[in-house]
């Protein structure tokens, strides 16, 4: 099968992505749900902005989300969508290296009050088809545990109190670290993959009530008044999980 283009639509919390001629394979990007480690607000774990304003082009191949101190540009391309986050620290405190924000990439929930059409193709209630890259290669991502960026683990550990964080009750810490900021999920028949990745990350985590995939975007270090850009990717195409990891590694020069 050749490559697919992806239409970008809007929904209450962010973007909807649907491959042209394969609308039932849609995925959703909630941008954004949480902050970690003093990003935007002071604290280990604080809520994110919930409802952005949006703008789409006529062809639905480009979209932009707007929050008070950040915007997200989405550009459809071959088998994927290029993401560019521009964020400014307009708070009264500097953000540390491990400051991050968490968007939620998901197939929609069956019991949600938010109006979405769930994509059963990408449900993974048995936690058997969701993957990240660890020290031993591609590994299964099971349960709700957080997998930290291996390069930031020492600094992150310094924020723990007796080995726990403010979010440990719902997201316990895994001993397995992540090597890159990409999560990939296979469809039920393993003929398609969906994934989300960022060039700078702190956490990968999944399988919350929205059957979601979380890659937290590392927005630190960022001093008061400074602005930075971070690139990301959404993948949605017919192929294997190995192909998706290869694409990401090649595109980000890792």
For the chain, list residues with pLDDT below 50: none
pLDDT value for 196: 98
DSSP code string of 209-253: TT--EEEEEE--SB-TT-EEEEEEEEEEEES-HHHHHHHHHHHTT
Return the closest-CA partner of residue 13 out of 160, 145, 112.
112
Q: Domains along the chain? A: 6-251 (2.70.98)
Return the closest-CA partner of residue 116 out of 30, 180, 176, 5.
30
> Per the structure block, which two tokens stand in for 86?
């521009």
pLDDT value for 114: 57
pLDDT value for 194: 97
- Model confidence pLDDT, tens digit, residues 17-49: 999 988 889 999 999 999 999 999 999 999 998
> Per the structure block, which two tokens stand in for 147?
């997998």
pLDDT value for 112: 56
Give just the sign of the alpha carbon dihedral 231, 83, 184, 203: positive
| Angstrom distance (rounded) from CA 204 to CA 7 | 26
pLDDT value for 6: 95
Return the closest-CA partner of residue 50 out of 31, 37, 66, 36.
31
Is residue 43 within 8 Å of 165, Cβ to Cβ? no
* DSSP H or E run through 157: helix 153-157
CA distances from 205 to 57, 133, 152, 197 (A): 32, 12, 16, 12
pTM of the model: 0.94
* DSSP H or E run through 153: helix 153-157
pLDDT value for 118: 64
| Angstrom distance (rounded) from CA 110 to CA 254 | 37
């Amino acid at each position: 099968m050749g490559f697919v283009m992806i239409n970008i639509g809007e929904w209450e919390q962010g973007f909807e992505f649907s491959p042209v001629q394969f609308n039932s394979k849609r995925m959703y990007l909630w941008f954004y749900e949480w902050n970690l480690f003093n990003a935007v607000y002071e604290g280990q774990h604080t809520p994110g902005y919930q409802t952005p304003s949006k703008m789409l082009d006529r062809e639905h191949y480009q979209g932009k989300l707007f929050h008070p101190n950040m915007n997200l540009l989405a550009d459809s391309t071959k088998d994927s969508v290029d993401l560019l986050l521009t964020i400014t620290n307009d708070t009264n405190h500097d953000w540390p290296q491990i400051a991050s924000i968490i968007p939620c990439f998901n197939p929609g929930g069956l019991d949600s009050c938010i109006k979405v059409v769930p994509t059963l193709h990408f449900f993974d209630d048995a936690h058997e088809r969701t993957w990240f890259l660890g020290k031993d290669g591609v590994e299964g991502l099971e349960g709700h545990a957080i997998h930290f960026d291996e390069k930031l683990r020492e600094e992150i550990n310094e924020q723990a109190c007796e080995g726990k964080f403010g979010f440990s009750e719902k997201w316990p810490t895994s001993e397995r670290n992540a090597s890159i900021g990409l999560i990939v999920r296979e469809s039920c028949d393993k003929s398609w993959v969906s994934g989300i990745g960022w060039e700078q990350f702190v956490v990968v985590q999944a399988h919350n009530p929205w059957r979601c995939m979380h890659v937290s975007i590392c927005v630190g270090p960022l001093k008061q008044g400074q602005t930075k850009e971070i690139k990301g990717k959404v993948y949605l195409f017919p192929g294997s999980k190995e192909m998706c990891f290869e694409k990401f590694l090649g595109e980000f020069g890792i």
